[in-house]
Amino acid sequence: MSAPIASSQKLQKAQKIEIYSRFPRIPALHFAVYVGLGALLIASIGQVSPSPERLWDGIPRIFNLMDRMLPPETDPAFLVRMGWRLLETLQIAIAGTVFGVILSLPIAWLSARRISPLPFGSFLFKGLVSLFRTIPDLVWALIFVVTVGLGAVAGTMTIVVDTIGFCGRFFAEAMEDSDQEPQVALDAIGASKFSILMSVVLPDAMPSLINTTLFALEKAIRSSVVLGLVGAGGIGQELKSAFDLFQYHKASAIILSIFVIVLIMEWITDRLREKVK
Amino acid sequence: MTSPDPVLSDNTPSKSISSELMSDVPLSDNSKVMAPILRVQNLKKSYDKENVILNGISLHIREGETVALIGSNGAGKSTLLKCLVGLHENTDGDVEVLGTRFKRTATRQQRHNIRKQIGFVFQNHGLVKRLSAHTNVVHGFLGQKGSWRAFNQAFAPQDWREKAMHALEAVKLSDKAKDRADSLSGGQAQRVAIARALVREPRLLIADEPAASLDPASGHTVMQQFVDLARENNITLIFTSHDMEHAVSYSDRVIALKSGKIHFDKPSGEVSKADLHGVFDQ
């Protein structure tokens, strides 16, 4: 037992090892940036967050609004009209998602690193996807309401663009993360880029593509609800007019129905996600 | 170092060889008789001045031969195989594979000509894990006419589906045809990869460490089936291996690479222990 200890002591004496510091050194420039960001955060909180007095004053108003909203409207004629609007909302979401996903696939392929047949042009498609994603859906809705008029078509086009912005990015990432070895194996026997996409990349990335599509559908349903606020069809238009006309019983019925629809869609997409492996 | 072929030996005037190799016509009547399937002359590959992988490789492989490429890690075995099919750009030298000649870079058409006649088996099988063994074998038809039908066995013509089943039968895995590739053992997956390479009826089969990721028993099974099938079908086989027993037992000829050069090139029956030790001496 004594020999290892002796040799260990000998080792300690024989070698003087320099140990690096416990914490990484922060360059002066980085430190200045961190301080600047902290100052910006504090200034933002001071300027735009609600003051405690204002929050306190708002509490009675919240109860007052809830009192005016309950019970929700149950007039059959209203419920039927709301049902049709809900159906239109779902149609906007589903049609927009389907077209968006179909268009996202080639865009993602063209923008995915190593997979794209346009190695030097892929940034163009990445840029296009970034443009679609960066502009908020309500802004797209306003653009399409101006270009194609009020109604569900503008809403569907908004969801298509929004879905391309979302799926285009995540599809491309899933393609880039797909297994490299089969791609090299099929490239070695002369398979084209398109053949490799269809034979390797899509089957391998399929669970991720389906998951992304389901998230896109959930996102589209939530978006399609609010698109009506700017005249792009769906239940949002009913909600806006209910608030504008102070019909809070109707507004609460609409909010409840939206909640139920979103809950059902999340339940369905969760079940589908479990099946995808 | 043994010069493998007098036609390509270092004594041959380089001018005539290089000018000959520049064109796309057959080398000579003599070479036709010898049925060369692969010729490499003074092949060099480096990533930068200090990182030289291949440093003047010359070799000549005839139709029907089974050749083992051996060497330590970094000797250039895998790089050499990839240079042959244009997966890597060569720094210098001349390559002729299956009648197609190129120097530094094969053109798109040349790569297509070469790749449609070869099978390639990689160390880690390279199967699409979420697809069935049958579909993975049908993928062997990619790169051929109407290859969109090889995306999946469901779209494939009946004769391709049958050939794929025969290839699976040849590697004794027809009962696993419908199983997903990720449910197969390492040895089974490698045999499916061999079936994928065989289904295209290649003239040249290239395998990069086909048994390296397998346990010894599976490794022997895979190598035995691989070599038997290649010989039965008169396919030229070039494989790399770290396993000296595999290299000597399953090949007609052993080519050893060391520091990017050919260390020796001998019939496998003539390879001695001293030869093999010499390959791995630093």
Q: Confirm or reject contact between B8 and chain A (CB < 8 A).
A: no
Average pLDDT, chain B: 81
Question: A-contacting residues of B 87-116, CB under 8 Å?
Answer: 87, 111-112, 114-116
A196 band by pLDDT with thresholds 50, 70 and 90: very high
pLDDT at residue A101, as a whole number = 96
Res B33: pLDDT = 41
B1: closest CA of chain A, how far (Å): 30
SS percent in chain B: helix, strand, coil, step 5: 40, 25, 35
| pLDDT tens digits, one per residue of B229-282 | 888 888 999 999 888 888 888 999 999 988 888 988 989 888 888 888 888 776
Is B126 close to A181, i.e. CB distance below 8 A? yes
For residue A180, the chain B residue with the least C-alpha distance is B126
Which of A182, A189, A203 lies closest to B119 in CB terms?
A189
Residues of B in contact with A191 (CB under 8 A): 139, 142-143, 147
Give the phi and the psi of residue B40 in degrees, each rounded to 5. -130, 130
Q: Sketch the domain layout of chain B as residue ranges.
A: 1-116+243-282, 126-201
Going from the first residue of chain B to its last (282 residues), give the mean pLDDT of each consecutive group of 10, the final group possibly shorter: 37 34 36 66 85 87 91 86 84 88 85 86 90 94 83 90 91 91 91 90 89 83 86 90 87 90 89 82 67
The CATH number corresponding to B1-116+243-282 among 2.40.100.10, 3.40.50.11540, 3.40.50.300, 3.40.50.2300 equals: 3.40.50.300
**pLDDT at position A41 over 90:** yes
Q: Do A204 and B118 count as a contact with CB atoms less than 8 A apart?
A: no
Residue of A192, A199, A209, A276 best to disrupt the B interface, most CBs of B under 10 A: A199
A186 near B CB under 8 A: yes
Reported as a pLDDT band with limits 50, 70 and 90, residue A6 is low
Average pLDDT, chain A: 87
When pLDDT is cut at 50, 70 and 90, the band that residue A15 belongs to is: low
More confident residue, B89 or A161: A161
**Predicted local distance difference test score (pLDDT) of residue B23:** 37
State which of A82-86, A97-101, B262-266 shows the largest mean pLDDT: A97-101
Q: CB-based contact (8 Å) between A88 and chain B?
A: no
State the pLDDT at residue B5: 39
A210 vs B: CB within 8 A = no
Contact A188 B142 (CB under 8 A): no
Q: What is the mean pLDDT of residues A260-274?
A: 87
Q: Which of A175, A177, A189, A276 to mutate to test the interface with B (most CBs of B within 10 A)?
A: A189
For residue A157, pLDDT over 90 is answered with yes
User: Which residue of chain B comes nearest to A207, CA vs CA?
Assistant: B130
Residue ranges of A 122-181 with Cβ closer than 8 A to chain B: 179, 181
State the Cα–Cα distance between residues B276 and B282, nearest whole angstrom: 13
Q: Domains of chain A, with CATH numbers?
A: 94-275 (1.10.3720.10)
pLDDT at A3: 52
